Amino acid sequence: MKTLIKNVYAVMPDGSVPKTNILIDQDRIVGIGPVSDDFHPAKIIDGTDHLAIPGFVNAHTHTSMTLLRSYADDMALMDWLNQMVWPAEAKMTAEDIYWGAMLAMLEMVRTGTTTFADMYGPWMEKVAEAAIDAGLRGVLSRGIIGAAPDGEKKIEENVTLFQEFHGAADGRITVMFGPHAPYTCPPDFLKKVAKTAQSLNAEIHIHMHETKTEIQDSLQQYGKRPFEWVAETGLFDGKGTLAAHCVHLNDADIAIMKKYGIRAAHNPGSNMKLASGVAPVPRLLQEGICVALGTDGASSNNNLDMLEEVNLAAMLHKVHTYDPVAVPAFCALQMGTEYGGKAVGVKDIGRLEQGYKADITLFDLNSAAWCPRNNLVSLLVYSANSSSVDTVLCNGKVLMENHVLKTLDEERILFEAQRCANHLTK
């Protein structure tokens, strides 16, 4: 099926925003510009007074954690995890995981996200099913806590997830291995994860250097910072690594990231809310390290709104470095789109360009936040909010048009998610 988005402002890879047409055939962009006489679309989307961007890529989240939104707030990370989050998660069933994920799918489609990288607990196959049902692109990993008695079983569950879902849904589902963090996965255990993942040519998704306490405990226990000893396990030797947070880094840590091509998922909202610190994003970008954006889970953010993360990334680093050009608007947008695609290991998303996947988000410009239209990228990053999202395509399929959902039953999802949350938080 061919689709034409006509007469739309489109954010191009160089940051320019021409008024143009986007030509789609099946799941890919086949042209941007004039419509040739031999292009006969089955569907035409009127892009007048709309801005098209690549669909947002949420490079680090925990989708089913939507069920714990507003449940445990204003706490330090380890207290938050140990006293509130992990006990509630221990009650979760497969049904909870599915409906929590569906609530996340609903929120992501409504706010213009087309790809998400998720690490969570058991029943990750339910997250895969939710992504398939919603029509989104998912990069999934089974969160593996090696210090737990059933750590080996968790590795096998990740293997099963990979075997059953990697490449599923016309390639929309990718599976990584998800060792949770250095403080929950000892060195010998990470060696097993590395060996297993590399035997399947699978990538790694791991939390790294999120808090000062994590660094201090590692120095006390191993005499080394986490990046150093994790590198020695061989975990970074495989196909690729997505490292969430990367807040507390020194020169040696950054050198390791460069050596192994490690991509960072920056989570400004979650890091601010949990008071984890400020990642050295301008330095990482200067060093040529890929830095993407993620929301983290909805229990520590508390939403999955990627436009908000784009705004926070641009604003936070300005004030932190006293430099108003530390992260310019277009760079922040790239972190939420193009760099996100690279970070999650999906090579052909994140750009409005011929040959790339037709993952596209349209913003309605008919509101006060978009007036006057001096600079549309600036308006998107600093002025607009995600309520302007009115049309979303993923893999060439329309998931929402003019605010009308095409793949999701919003009323059912909200009912089921509340029902599931009721038994978790009592």
SS (H, E, C) 238-299: CCCEEEEECCCCCHHHHHHHHHHCCEEEECHHHHHHCCCCCCCHHHHHHCCCCEEECCCCCC
282 preceded by cis ω (within 30°)? no
Structure tokens at 308: 């908000």
HEC sequence for 313-341: HHHHHHHHHCCCCCCCHHHHHHHHCHHHH
Question: What does the pLDDT read at residue 425?
Answer: 81
**Cβ within 8 Å of residue 134, ≥6 positions away:** 102, 105, 106, 108, 109, 399, 407, 408
3-state class of 356 per DSSP? coil
DSSP H or E run through 20: strand 19-25
**Residue 50: HSE in the Cβ half-sphere, 13 Å Cα cutoff:** 24
Per-residue confidence in pLDDT tens, the chain, 426 aa: 899 999 999 999 999 999 999 999 999 999 999 999 999 999 999 999 999 999 999 999 999 999 999 998 998 878 888 999 889 999 999 999 999 999 999 999 999 999 999 999 899 999 999 999 999 999 999 999 999 899 999 999 999 999 999 999 999 999 999 999 999 999 999 999 999 999 999 999 999 999 999 999 999 999 999 999 999 999 999 999 999 999 999 999 999 999 999 999 999 999 999 999 999 999 999 999 999 999 999 999 999 999 999 999 999 999 999 999 999 999 999 999 999 999 999 999 999 999 999 999 999 999 999 999 999 999 999 999 999 999 999 999 999 999 999 999 999 999 999 999 999 987
Dihedral sign, CA of 119, 268, 410, 24?
negative
Q: How far is CA 406 from the centre of its chain?
A: 22
Structure tokens at 181: 């963090």
Q: Looking at residue 95, what DSSP letter applies?
A: H
Question: What does the pLDDT read at residue 365?
Answer: 98
Other Cβ atoms within 10 Å of 413 Cβ, number: 21
Residues counted in the chain:
426
Question: 145-183: b or e for each residue (b if 16 or more CB lie within 10 Å)?
Answer: bbeeeebeebbebbbebbeebbebbeebbbbbbbbbbbb
**Cβ within 8 Å of residue 419, ≥6 positions away:** 99
| Alpha carbon separation from 171 to 28, 128, 289, 357, 362 (Å, rounded) | 13, 12, 26, 11, 23
| Residue among 85, 61, 62, 69 nearest 418 (CA) | 69
